[in-house]
Amino acid sequence: MQYTVHFPGGQTDYYPSASTQDLLQLAPIEHTIIISDNNVAMHYGELFKGYKTIVVSAGDQSKTLETISALAKQIAEFEAHKTTRIIGFGGGMICDLSGFLASIYMRGIEFGFMPTTLLAMVDAAIGGKNGVNIGLNKNMLGTIKQPKFIATNPAFLNTLPSQEWSNGFAEIIKYACIADEPLWHQLRTQNLIGFQKDATLLSNIIHQCVQHKNRIVLADEQENNIRKSLNFGHTAGHAFETIYRLQHGQAVGLGMIVALIASEQNLDFPVHIRPLLINMLHQYGLPSTIDFNVEKVMHTLKLDKKRSNETIDFILLESIGKAKIHPLTFSEINRALQTFFDEGNR
């Protein structure tokens, strides 16, 4: 069933159970350019027949200005104009790339997403953030511009590797921690296989996460306040992801543990919750320890775009389902990281 969300920066039409045939209606061949990656094209290339299509290499290494420059040249060769629509057909990286490209090409043309990963369905495709990395700096260049539509087909998940399922559940766990205590309890009683086998249960949880993100983005599209809560686990997580080449979900899970330690140290968050989070990460195929260098992680964190002078806005928890934006000094961040390192290497 279609519905529309009216963001301050533009409306997005949602198609939660789109069929592959809907692509033709949402994106007429004569006015559309599809951007995808080689993994997605291997499974769904048949759907691209007749479309002007650009396929990039899968992986975060493609999320660069160099790729954007090459894509811009290619769509110019396709004679893209103001009424051309860019479709990002893939996971979070493709959503970021195609949304950013469309946002800046000719000062902005329409774009839509057909997310093919769980992570993109519950998080990356939603909310209008589009961007690329600069070296070790995640998403340092970007825009906030809403897609014209997001068409989700849960059948795409049938070809998803197990690690990509885990990546998506890291974001689902994030929503439970910052905004939904009942979801926290539901996740504790389920596991990855249970959701994979129950299409209704999976569709319901995807819808819950989309509603949470839309509610938060509607309240703060430009990320001046409450939208920052969506960064729970991502501050330290991005550093782990960049330095140690982890999957996004793996890194975010580790970052959530660091955030819980910082919550214990700075907000008197109850210490008995952290083992529950660690067990939950294991239930969904995510690691809870990493051998890392505290100084290297701190160096990367000091380049974080959320830095303000000698502090970084961390998202901590007051309780499960209740997040708080809390500036931490570098000393406080170092303390949390050192605790995480020491406890993981006992």
129 is catalytic: yes
**What is the spatial distance between Cα 303 and Cα 320, in angstroms, rounded to a whole number?**
29
The C-alpha atoms of residue 33 and residue 48 are separated, in whole angstroms, by 10
Cβ contact 232:315 at 8 Å: yes
- Coil, strand or helix: which one is 21? coil
**Residue 227 annotated to the active site:** yes
How buried is residue 339: exposed, middle or buried, by Cβ count under 10 Å (0-12/13-18/19+)? middle
Among 213, 274, 306, 326, the one annotated catalytic: 213
Q: Is 231 a catalytic residue?
A: yes
Annotated catalytic residue within 171, 221, 241, 264? 171
Catalytic residue among 174, 231, 241, 306: 231
Alpha-helical (H) ranges within 220-323 are 234-244, 248-267, 273-283, 294-301
Cα distances (angstroms) measured from residue 148 to each of 14, 134, 211, 312 = 9, 27, 17, 33
Q: 52 forms bridges with which residues in the sheet?
A: 33
Which candidate in 63, 138, 227, 326 is catalytic? 227
In angstroms, the CA 303 to CA 312 distance is 10
Query: 234, exposed or middle or buried, with CB in 10 Å at 0-12, 13-18, 19+?
Result: buried
Catalytic residue, chosen from 145, 148, 234, 274, is 234
Cα 100-217-318 angle, rounded to 5 deg: 125
Distance in angstroms (rounded) separating the CA atoms of residues 125 and 89: 10
Catalytic residue among 52, 63, 85, 129: 129
Q: Is 346 an active-site residue?
A: no
Report how far residue 97's alpha carbon sits from residue 102's, in angstroms, rounded to the nearest whole number. Answer: 9
Based on the residue annotation, tell me whether 307 is a catalytic residue of this protein: no
Annotated catalytic residue 238: yes
Annotated catalytic residue 85: no
Which one is catalytic: 138, 145, 248, 326?
Answer: 248
Check if the beta carbon of residue 334 is closer than 8 Å to that of residue 294. Answer: yes
Q: Of 52, 85, 238, 326, which one is the catalytic site residue? A: 238
Catalytic residue among 38, 191, 207, 223: 223
Active site residues: 107, 129, 171, 213, 223, 227, 231, 234, 238, 248
